[in-house]
Amino acid sequence: MSEIAENLAKIRENIKASCERAGRNESDVTLIAVSKTKPIKCLKEAYDAGVRDFGENKVQEIVEKYDKMPHDTRFHMIGHLQRNKVRQVIDKVVMIHSVDSYRLAQEISVQAQKRGIEMDILVEVNLGAEETKFGGGYEDTIQLFEEISFLPGLKIKGLMTVAPYVVDSEENREIFHKIWELSVDIEKRKLDNVSMNVLSMGMTGDYTVAIEEGSTCVRVGTGIFGERDYSPTNQKEM
Ligand SMILES: *Cc1c(COP(=O)(O)O)cnc(C)c1O
């Protein structure tokens, strides 16, 4: 077994155990393999080990990798997205996790309508209040849902968050729980185009806690593919 396949087996076991602890169904949690900066060879290894959902945070990388992967590969845009790049990824991703403004949602709506599709999106929320991160707070997020629920061409599926980096995953439990509460709160408002089915939260350091707090979608990179190499030589090979 390759190292990637071994890592995946371990992570799937952990996901199963977390679901059992929380009394949840394993099939309610999707594992997204975050393959940013990693070469196609690694994505294919994960694919061969059963992964179909891949997370990327750069438009350029999605465009380059899209044609090189089998047709049933599902790419997720999980990084900050600029409006002028929506056009390039709209037909290559199954979901945009990182919608953090009305203007971005509006551009996705325009581009989706041009192609006659409905795009699944999540609204990024940031309850850790770290200023370096994207996403709004509790009230801002509710307001954004109300504003974008009128836009055609979108299916608003839920919330996404990047929790603070912590050494002990327990430190993020409260944030995950609050985001779950926010999700329930928004669902009660019965907005058009909004179904709160997806909670995209949990990364390598904290996905087990995130699942215990209601995550339906964990985004794991390092835990599957190992450390990322951001040196210039690696970037050239992409
Ligand atoms: C890189 C990234 C991840 C994966 O992080 P790991 O700690 O390597 O698991 C998840 N979500 C987002 C938005 C990312 O940018």
pLDDT tens-digit readout, 154-211: 999 999 999 998 999 999 999 999 999 999 999 999 999 999 999 999 999 999 999 9
Q: How many Å apart are CA 54 and CA 62, to the nearest integer?
A: 10
Rounded distance from Cα 36 to ligand 1 centre (Å): 8
Is the distance from the beta carbon of residue 96 to the nearest atom of ligand 1 less than 6 Å? Answer: no
Using alpha carbons, select from 222, 166, 175 the residue that is nearest to residue 199: 175
- Residue 31 CA to residue 220 CA, distance in Å, equals 7
- For residue 234, is pLDDT > 80? no
Express each pLDDT in 217-227 by its tens digit: 999 999 999 99
Tell me the percentage of the chain whose pLDDT exceeds 70: 96
Mean pLDDT of 72-84: 98
Please state the φ and ψ torsions of residue 186, each to the nearest 5 degrees: -70, -40
Residue 11 CB less than 6 A away from ligand 1: no
Q: Out of 78, 201, 227, 229, give the residue to mutate to test ligand 1, the one with the largest number of ligand atoms within 8 Å of its CB.
A: 78
The per-residue pLDDT for 235 is: 59
Identify the pLDDT of residue 129: 65
Cβ of 220 closer than 6 Å to ligand 1, yes or no, is yes
Return d(Cα 103, Cα 65) in angstroms, integer: 27
Residue nearest to ligand 1 atom 10, measured at CA: 219
Give ∠ CA 207-221-18 in degrees, rounded to 5.
Answer: 20
Eight-class DSSP state of 227 = S
With beta carbons less than 8 A apart as the criterion, state whether 78 and 102 touch.
no
pTM for this one?
Answer: 0.95
